[in-house]
Amino acid sequence: MRNSQFGFRPRRNTSDALFITRRMIDAAVMGKGSGAGLMLLLLDWAKAFDSIRPDSLLEALRRFGLPPGMLQLIRAIYTDRQFVVRDCAHISTCRKQQAGIAQGCPLSPYLFIIVQAVMLRDVDLQLAGVPHIQEPDYVVTPDVL
């Protein structure tokens, strides 16, 4: 986990992340004449848990290096999930859940962080060959920016 990970970590909050981001912007503006620059990648994490597809989750977990036994357990949880909607006296037909990780499950924030870590590692690899880009750093928070 990156030191810049603020979401789902104790003693870290969104105010810290916003402060760091603002200081990075200030530093880039102050150093404008020196050729320094700043590239921001802002991602909207709204409904993040709802949007992760099971196949993408499992691929990210595999690439992160989770042991096969752990992958098998998570695959069992997230493969072929179905649901019904119930109200007072009615039950809907059974539907297949296409995406989403379980909200309220203590494992879910960790799964999301792993997906995020794999995605940011891919960004690092893509930027590695771009001229004038030094090693990127991130301020990673839940949906606040």
Between 73 and 38, the more confident residue is: 73
Q: What is the pLDDT of residues 69-80, one digit of tens each?
A: 999 999 999 998
1 in a structural domain: no
Query: What is the phi/psi pair of residue 8, to 5°?
Result: 60, 35
Report the run of H or E that residue 110 belongs to, with start and end: helix 108-127
Highest mean pLDDT among 59-63, 109-113, 141-145: 59-63
What is the mean pLDDT of the segment spanning 117-127?
Answer: 83
36 in a structural domain: yes
Query: What is the phi/psi pair of residue 111, to 5°?
Result: -60, -45
Instruction: Check if the beta carbon of residue 4 is closer than 8 Å to that of residue 138.
Output: yes
Q: How confident is the model at residue 144 (pLDDT cuts 50, 70, 90)?
A: very low
133 in a structural domain: no
Q: What tokens were used for 55? A: 């196949």
4 in a structural domain: no
141 in a structural domain: no
List all residues 6 or more positions away from 30 whose beta carbon is below 8 Å from its beta carbon.
Answer: none
**Model pTM greater than 0.75?**
no
What is the mean pLDDT of the segment spanning 60-65?
Answer: 96
9 in a structural domain: no
114 in a structural domain: yes
Distances (CA, A) of 142 to 15, 88, 133: 11, 35, 26
Highest mean pLDDT among 21-30, 36-45, 122-131, 134-143: 21-30
Domain ranges, residue 27: 14-127
CA–CA separation, 48 and 101 (whole Å): 9
Q: How confident is the model at residue 60 (pLDDT cuts 50, 70, 90)?
A: very high
Q: How many domains does the chain have?
A: 1
69 in a structural domain: yes
Whether 136 has a pLDDT exceeding 70, the answer reads no
CA–CA separation, 109 and 25 (whole Å): 29
Whether 84 has a pLDDT exceeding 60, the answer reads yes
CA–CA separation, 126 and 64 (whole Å): 17
Residue 38, pLDDT score: 73
